[in-house]
Structure 1
Amino acid sequence: MTFSSLFLLLLTPLYVGLIYMVNKFNTKNPIEFSDLFIGYRQNFVNILIYSLISGVISSIAMAFCFLPFFFVYPFLLIGYPILLFENSSAMEALNKSFAIAKENYGVFLLTGFLGMLISAAGIILCGFGIILTAPFIMIVMYSTYCAFLGKPRQIMYTK
């Protein structure tokens, strides 16, 4: 594992923080900068384990000429919201995400593909747009979670 891979692994709790901020926006709660770091305070180890497992799965899929990644990604789409809102273990999140995606694979495939396409638009069209468009996939994850599992429970976290 290279240094950059380890660094990216340690940044994955920020993905969960972005999903949490989207949830707070959706429920009309005030958003604070510290909300971005909820993944470091809640379920941190399971987020890292899930990220490592999904990273290995994605890397293997990408090694097969990149195309299989698009067919594997839908199974991993709602793992981070499950980790956040259900406070589950990494394997529970992976299994639940896989089971739900298996039943609704076409919807998950199209949703994941469109989310990645919009997120990639910031990179392709204008390099500085990555800051604004890359987090869009987190919104897709949250929306897909809400569509298939309902509105998430309210997370009460005291500082």
Structure 2
Amino acid sequence: PPPAAPTPPPPGAYPPPPGAYPPPAGAYPPPAAGYGQPLVAPQGADIGQAFSYGWTKLWQNAGAFIVASLIYVVGFAVIVGVFWTVLFAGAMATSQLNSDGTYSSTSAGFSAVGSLSSGLFILVIVLLGYLVQAGFIRGALEVTYGRPVAIGDFFKFTDFGRIVVAALVTGIIVGIGSALCYLPGIVAAFFLQFVLFFVIDKGMAVGDALRASFNLAKNNVGPAVLLLLVVYVIQAIGSALCGIGLIVALPLGYLVSAYMYRKLLNEPVAP
């Protein structure tokens, strides 16, 4: 008799695969680096290019930047002038002229009140200074994204609470450092120079912004040091010109900083 047919495979058995699966097209790209992670040769993070960019963009948007700067500078001058006028008038009202031509206070309490008022005034000025900084940072970032800039952009504080807290924390840290023989204050200013940028640009919480700024400066020491020095020189020259130079120096410094901040993050900057 003919041989029996081969036994069929059990029902439900899977047939052999028609062929091996093709190899993967390639490994997935590595995740993007977090803020402040070590960066390899940031493209274009050059302080000379940053200054040139800031100078060009300042005059291309002079209407918004110069007017906003003028408002800030004049406003500060008025506030400071009013405070010292009131303080001086109060001191004269509680003083008497002695026979030797000197003045002496007739109110022991005024000295304490004057000291307290001066302390509060300094705190207010520091806070207002950081709000001005936040306004210029917002305007400068708009330029780096290629967006049109209006005067109103410098007075928008959509994250007002977060900006105030970040400003106070930064100011306190730098202030304490400056009181400790000044050098620690410079170090603190170096590591915290990008805090408000992260708060305004990335919407970070204050603690996260502090860490991101620290890491970005730490991992880019050379460019960050040059940035701090260049901005300081710009502001010093502006202040030396009877304060009038600040009308140009203030926006220029923040445009340079905004350019470097985004380049250090390897982000594209609008030409």
> TM-score, normalized by length of structure 1?
0.82
The equivalent residue for 2:208 is 92
**Taking structure 1 as reference, are residues 73 and 54 closer, same or farther at Cα in structure 2, changes over 3 Å only?**
same
The equivalent residue for 1:18 is 136
Q: Would you say the 8 A contact 1:74–1:105 is kept in 2?
A: no
Does residue 258 of structure 2 align to residue 142 of structure 1?
yes
CA distance in 2 between counterparts of 1:150 and 1:34 reads 29
CA distance in 2 between counterparts of 1:64 and 1:136 reads 30
Unaligned runs of 5+ in 1: 153-159
> TM-score, normalized by length of structure 2?
0.50
Q: What code does the residue aligned with 2:186 have?
A: F
Superposed CA RMSD in Å reads 2.2
Structure with greater helix percent = 1
Q: Would you say the 8 A contact 1:119–1:135 is kept in 2?
A: no
Task: Tell me which moved more, 125-134 or 78-87.
Answer: 125-134
**Taking structure 1 as reference, are residues 135 and 68 closer, same or farther at Cα in structure 2, changes over 3 Å only?**
farther
**Taking structure 1 as reference, are residues 59 and 11 closer, same or farther at Cα in structure 2, changes over 3 Å only?**
closer
1:77-114 alpha-carbon deviations (Å, 9 max, x no partner) = 11111111110111110011011211222321221111
Q: What code does the residue aligned with 1:99 have?
A: N
The equivalent residue for 1:44 is 160
Task: Tell me which moved more, 43-52 or 17-26.
Answer: 17-26
Identity %: 28
In the alignment of these two chains, the number of paired residues is 151
The equivalent residue for 2:124 is 6
Partner SS for 1:128? coil
Does residue 169 of structure 2 align to residue 31 of structure 1?
no
Q: Would you say the 8 A contact 1:101–1:108 is kept in 2?
A: yes
**Taking structure 1 as reference, are residues 121 and 11 closer, same or farther at Cα in structure 2, changes over 3 Å only?**
closer
The equivalent residue for 1:155 is none
